[in-house]
Amino acid sequence: MTQGILTLNAGSSSLKVALFPGRGDRPMASALADRIGPEGTLRLKGAFGQPLEAAPGDLTSHAGAMRMVLDSFRLEFPDLDILAAGHRVVHGGDAFDAPVTVTPEVMETLARLQPFAPLHQPHNLAGIRAAMEAFPGVAQVACFDTAFHRSHPWVNDTFALPRALYDAGVRRYGFHGLSYDYVTGTLGDLAPHLAEGRVVIAHLGNGASMCAVQGGRSVASTMGFSALDGLPMGTRCGQVDPGVLLYLMDQRGMSAAEISDLLYRQSGLLGLSGLSNDMRTLEAAATPEAAQAIDYFVFRCQREVGGLAAAMGGIDALVFCGGIGENSRLIRARICERLGWMGIEIDHARNTENALVISSELARTTVMVVPTDEELVIARAARAAAGLTERDAA
* Residue among 387, 394, 390 nearest 141 (CA): 387
What is the strand order of the sheet 41-46 is part of? 41-46, 29-34, 15-21, 2-10, 80-89, 139-144, 100-101
Q: Which residues pair with 47 in a beta bridge?
A: none
184 vs 328 by CB, closer to ligand ADP: 328
# of chain residues touching ligand ADP (CB under 6 A): 13
80 vs 279 by CB, closer to ligand ADP: 279
Q: Is 112 in the site for ligand ADP (CB under 6 A)?
A: no
89 vs 102 by CB, closer to ligand ADP: 89
DSSP-assigned letter for residue 149:
G
The torsion angles phi and psi of 285, rounded to 5 degrees, stand at -80, 155
Catalytic residue among 25, 145, 347, 373: 145
DSSP string computed for 328-368: -HHHHHHHHHT-GGGT--B-HHHHHTT-SB-B-TT-SSEEE
Burial code (b: 16+ CB inside 10 Å, e: under 16) for 348-357 equals: eebbeeeeeb
N-terminal to C-terminal alpha carbon distance within the chain: 18
26 vs 280 by CB, closer to ligand ADP: 280
Site string for ligand ADP, 269-308 (x = CB under 6 A): ---------xxx--x-------------------------
Site string for ligand ADP, 309-328 (x = CB under 6 A): -------------xxx--xx
Is 145 in the active site?
Answer: yes
Q: Is 238 in the site for ligand ADP (CB under 6 A)?
A: no
* Residue among 325, 365, 360 nearest 344 (CA): 365
In the complex, least distance from residue 282 CB atom to ligand ADP, rounded to whole angstroms? 8
Q: Is 4 in the site for ligand ADP (CB under 6 A)?
A: no
Q: Is 268 in the site for ligand ADP (CB under 6 A)?
A: no
Residues at the site binding ligand ADP, with contacts judged by CB under 6 A: 205-207, 234, 278-280, 283, 322-324, 327-328
Which residues are the active-site residues? 145
